[in-house]
A and B are shown apart, each in its own frame.
Chain A
């Protein structure tokens, strides 16, 4: 039970900002994912929380108390490392019990706590094994047990699943979240895998070039990406160049869309319009919309991935329901929902007719140029 707060964290290497003014709060028992391409500063941020990197400026608070000046051994945080970092010269019991022995707990207490932790991660009776005798998944569990046994207030996970093969990764990630929920521990999870982040996180913080772009729930992040980077990084997004015309309409490639109410846009402004593949209406030829050609249909089981071509426009990716009967050739296409970006920032959302337009999200975090 703990709240983690980062205030204006900055870390510079030479002239390069590894982490640039990151502020963020993680609530009680929340699992927050830091997501971003490699080199975006997510691991640096995590290592600053753990105490392995000293921030140039800014503060780190746990339940309101600053820990930024404490060395790692005195922080109430525990880290699960990317390569597990189990000590090869100790068996599983000593790996897990090391921290407890340092706290001068009685032998019986240590033994009980280690047993409990190993039971929790599903490795009962593995005490005497050496790390080299364990599979990657088992090493991962031991690393998790080693972190949890210390009852830290904040659990830090540095791409803990990236060294596992695909199938095991999915199983371990389910198990990991189950354990996290059962133990009830505030956690920060770093990953570059958006599917992983979307499937386990309560909230996701997307980073790029040291800047935190947006912190939001997976649903919100997908539906209302605050910046163009987030929009293209998460999921598939059709991106069109657009412009706000004088009549209050937006031209986006071949489409003409109504400008959303309350959008902070100036007439004649250059825009980038993002449309999710499932936000198109695709009908037979001669309908209301832009005339196009269906050039490719991939059946993906529960839905179809359709490539639609319009002259002078990049091919669009469209998802359609399996129920819809769709032939190749001429068709009509019209966006139902669109996101408008001005200067890379979300400036407005066109919601489908009949849906109340929500205001521009307030969850977007002070990214550069906001």
Chain B
């Protein structure tokens, strides 16, 4: 018998599968679990496996920290503005990439990756020198622009794929039924591509919301968003403080990702077209 004889036994094979899934689950969830425990820990010292006492002390500390409320304010103002602005710029580009054939189309489509091709920190520093000249350092719009760099790819590529997934015949059928090009876009192309636009928007929001490096370089010390504040907390305060903060930071991401997933699975993208 071969070395993998146990694969021949259904029970063992199934058990192996379960073990692998559990291992993967632990690998993914254990750090998060540790973080949650830390957030409620009061005293947790080596060699104890669990904290010796719990409290909500650090939660109230975080909520009563003046920097914290400011950070929440900046996060919740910059990220939506970035998303909106990014949509205004990228969605027409996405439609053009998908539907129009212009010279350099492929080049521009790929070049959106340029910002991701270099070490971010170096890029941010050189952008910061430029922003310094333009008086954008330490301003709201400076932070918005630097955060937008991270959103361009998702806000263009995903919606472009969404527009791609709308068969041309559906648009032609619209024209055939008497709708002009603009109405066809509004009533047929856009609604069918919408799930992809929403997913692109959510991912862009998260990219802006979680951005720390560029925001730190351009915005600190005046514009301090939640992820930037996180750096300060991690270096200057005990573990529970940053754990509490991590959870607060993770909640919007988690909710938005769940929504994005719903759109991806339930959308027309998944429903498909007969005969395709």
Chain A residues packing against B (C-beta within 8 Å)? 50-52, 71-74, 77-79, 81-89, 98-99, 102-103, 131-132, 136, 139, 146-147, 150, 163
Given contacts A83-B274, A87-B174, A136-B274, 14 further A-B contacts (CB under 8 A): A72-B172, A73-B177, A73-B179, A81-B169, A83-B169, A85-B170, A87-B173, A88-B192, A88-B273, A89-B192, A99-B178, A131-B274, A136-B275, A163-B274
Contact between A83 and B175 (Cβ–Cβ < 8 Å)?
no
Say yes or no for B191: interface residue by CB 8 A criterion.
yes
Contacts of A102 in B (CB 8 A): 177-179, 183
Determine how close the nearest CB of chain A comes to the CB of B172; give it in whole angstroms: 5
Task: Among A81, A83, A86, point to the contact of B276 (Cβ < 8 A).
Answer: A83
Most A C-beta atoms less than 10 A away, residue of B178, B180, B272:
B178
- List the B residue with the shortest CB-CB distance to A147: B176
Say yes or no for B268: interface residue by CB 8 A criterion.
yes
Say yes or no for B252: interface residue by CB 8 A criterion.
no
Contact between B191 and A83 (Cβ–Cβ < 8 Å)?
no
Task: Among A73, A103, A136, point to the contact of B176 (Cβ < 8 A).
Answer: A73
Complex Cα spacing A139 to B274, Å? 9
Instruction: Write 10 A-B pairs (CB below 8 A) sorted by A numbering.
Output: A72-B172, A72-B176, A79-B173, A84-B274, A85-B172, A86-B173, A98-B177, A132-B272, A136-B275, A163-B275
Contact between A132 and B175 (Cβ–Cβ < 8 Å)?
no
Interface of B is mostly: helix
Contact between A87 and B192 (Cβ–Cβ < 8 Å)?
yes
Determine how close the nearest CB of chain A comes to the CB of B60; give it in whole angstroms: 48
Determine how close the nearest CB of chain B comes to the CB of A106; give it in whole angstroms: 17
Complex Cα spacing A329 to B110, Å? 72
Within 8 A of A (CB), among B157-192: 167, 169-170, 172-180, 183, 187-188, 191-192
Contacts of B187 in A (CB 8 A): 98
Contact between B176 and A77 (Cβ–Cβ < 8 Å)?
yes
Contacts of A88 in B (CB 8 A): 170, 192, 268, 271, 273
Complex Cα spacing A102 to B188, Å? 13
Determine how close the nearest CB of chain A comes to the CB of B91; give it in whole angstroms: 18
Contacts of B174 in A (CB 8 A): 87, 98
Contacts of A132 in B (CB 8 A): 271-272, 274
Contacts of B179 in A (CB 8 A): 73, 98-99, 102
Contact between B175 and A73 (Cβ–Cβ < 8 Å)?
yes
Complex Cα spacing A52 to B268, Å? 25
Determine how close the nearest CB of chain B comes to the CB of A84; give it in whole angstroms: 7
Contact between B176 and A79 (Cβ–Cβ < 8 Å)?
yes
Complex Cα spacing A99 to B178, Å? 6
Contact between B192 and A103 (Cβ–Cβ < 8 Å)?
no
Contact between B177 and A83 (Cβ–Cβ < 8 Å)?
no
Q: Beyond A87-B192, A132-B272, A139-B274, is A81–B173 a contact (Cβ under 8 Å)?
A: yes
Complex Cα spacing A163 to B188, Å? 23
Contact between A87 and B188 (Cβ–Cβ < 8 Å)?
yes
Contacts of B273 in A (CB 8 A): 83, 88
Complex Cα spacing A146 to B172, Å? 13
Determine how close the nearest CB of chain A comes to the CB of B181; give it in whole angstroms: 8
Contacts of A163 in B (CB 8 A): 274-275
Most A C-beta atoms less than 10 A away, residue of B174, B177, B178:
B177
Complex Cα spacing A77 to B176, Å? 7
Contacts of A52 in B (CB 8 A): 172, 175
Contacts of A50 in B (CB 8 A): 172, 176
Contact between B169 and A73 (Cβ–Cβ < 8 Å)?
no
Most B C-beta atoms less than 10 A away, residue of A82, A84, A86, A89:
A89
Contact between B167 and A83 (Cβ–Cβ < 8 Å)?
yes
Complex Cα spacing A45 to B180, Å? 22
